[in-house]
A and B are shown apart, each in its own frame.
Chain A
């Protein structure tokens, strides 16, 4: 038996609905036999009547409703059809959910699932990685699971957290990634993972880019160069200690992110390493992101827009040469 990343998300939600009466799922096209644009809730509406609810095309009101329900003691999961559409709900997420606990001491335990990141042919409005925007604002926890195991355990943990959680699930990984079985162990939220130990350079990354980084590391192995790959897992909080420990081992840092280049996760990681671990660096830290244009539709353009094995490898050589 094998489990895909998408099935892990569905199984996590099934478990949550089974184990906790306070959980319900709220989103567009998620109920009935249809089960969501990506089938992440397939079968759940039938299995849990009244707890998997279709909503109007109203991202702002979907999140607003979830906030109210959470403040009333429920544990809503909001499925955005695409992460990109969460921009319509930005106000509710940032200003209502994100400020609620600080202002009123009332916890606001919503989980917003964002089907994130690019796939071929999806274009500017169905491909975005928005973890940087959400991390910039206070009061939110932002997660980017990169493995089947993390997709499962981090979603279960997300719903248990008393604060608003932005759960960025990568659409490219939905079907591409498989595990033998659902995990029985987990790493806690807020901890990064060294996915591949190395000696010569640390690639710090998250979400689907973890797999690009691993492919690059495999490539360099033939040359006797050992790259360490760190999967952040949680963008906020950011596990600075694990990143610094990795840089201490390798002396070189390359941050890889699928999001746009201005600011964001890669910039934050470099800022932290530069301020807290400058003495650990043997070369200037580097980063590689998507290009600063809208995400293109055509596969030829799309594959050049985001970091890929080729561009990451070129950047690695550059940092190693310093």
Chain B
């Protein structure tokens, strides 16, 4: 069953405004936060990479917004909005980027490689597609334990769709009949590589049928559509229908990371309709439909920016990890640590 939303459809007029505004607020804060992270990076205050979700905020926020306690969320590199919607505290983002020992990763891992498995948010590894089967395992175990009503949602890109792990993970999810939603954002560049060197099929959503999934497409620059299509996919998964594949179309409006000027992005592709800025589109809609006026938006920006500043300031005041005080033991069963590991 393929329920393909119309490509480039105009923003739905009957969006439930409350959810829409909530989503916008998270998108807006994500943009402010990511601009802050980029400026900290340029100022040399962040070690390692900074990876932004600019242009993908609408699809990402929709991924986090319809999940409940007990659900499993495995976000990826460009999912700040989704992580916030799922409930990840801003301060934990700042802590991870700034390397605070108080953060969830305590300086042991950084930037987007963060999570809180206890809260249902898995910490991604860099190897694309690897998290798909891990979500399947979480869902399988929940079913074995007799839990009900849960789902899992994980995200991937058009590049990540091409790994063997994604294929194995998508297939095993269907074989195990677990309630999984995969949201694949086709942002047209996997690092510097455009789609013609990633895949040769007409549309990635066509793969849904091949895996025994239900597939749908969505304009990733249209928040109302993202909310509608992704909430429907979540609902279908929760209702026990086959795994869901949602393919969103966007353009990555930043480099792969902040070290990358993305000079390889062509002028032609920037004129495509999927190249629109989801945040700007949402803001326009809000103003046009007088959901919030300009002054209200200004005030909102100030509030959101203050929260961001507070999160960053908190993380900046916290201590960095110290090598000589670190517990260099990678196993939880301490008596099974190999001796030299602990001795040195």
Residues on A lying within 8 angstroms of B by beta carbon are: 24, 50, 55-56, 58-74, 76, 91-92, 95-96, 98-99, 101-104, 106-107, 138-141, 161-163, 189-190, 236-238, 240, 272
Min CB distance, A85 to chain B, in Å?
A: 13
- Residue of B117, B132, B138, B168 with highest tally of chain A CB at under 10 A: B168
Within 8 A of A (CB), among B123-153: 123, 125-127, 130-142, 144-145
**A161 — which chain B residues lie within 8 A by C-beta?**
333, 336
Q: Is B338 an interface residue (CB 8 A)?
A: yes
B331 CB within 8 Å of chain A:
yes
B165 close to A (CB within 8 Å): yes
A238 CB contacts on chain B under 8 angstroms: 338-339
Q: Which residue of B lies closest to A108 (CB)?
A: B332
* A65 close to B171 (CB less than 8 A): no
Contacts of B105 in A (CB 8 A): 103-104
Candidates A24, A50, A56, A140; contact of B171 at CB < 8 Å: A56
- Assess the A162–B333 pair: CB atoms within 8 A: yes
Q: Which 5 A-B pairs have the closest CB atoms?
A: A68-B137, A64-B133, A72-B141, A61-B168, A65-B137
| Distance to closest chain A CB from B102 (angstroms) | 13
User: Does B330 touch A at the CB level, under 8 Å?
Assistant: yes
User: Using a Cβ cutoff of 8 Å, how many contacts connect chains A and B?
Assistant: 148
Question: 17 A-B Cβ contacts within 8 A?
Answer: A58-B133, A58-B168, A61-B136, A61-B165, A61-B172, A64-B130, A69-B140, A69-B144, A72-B145, A92-B133, A96-B134, A98-B330, A101-B331, A141-B333, A163-B333, A236-B338, A238-B339
The answer to whether B172 and A55 touch across the interface, beta carbons within 8 angstroms, is yes
Asked if B115 lies at the interface with its beta carbon under 8 angstroms from chain A, I say yes
- Which residues of chain B from 146 to 192 have any CB-CB distance to chain A below 8 Å in the complex? 164-165, 168-169, 171-172, 175-176
Q: A92-B133, A104-B105, A237-B336 provided; 20 other pairs, C-beta below 8 A?
A: A56-B168, A60-B169, A61-B136, A61-B171, A61-B172, A62-B133, A64-B131, A64-B134, A65-B134, A71-B138, A72-B141, A92-B130, A95-B125, A101-B331, A102-B108, A103-B109, A103-B123, A106-B117, A139-B331, A190-B335
B69 sits at the interface (CB 8 A): no
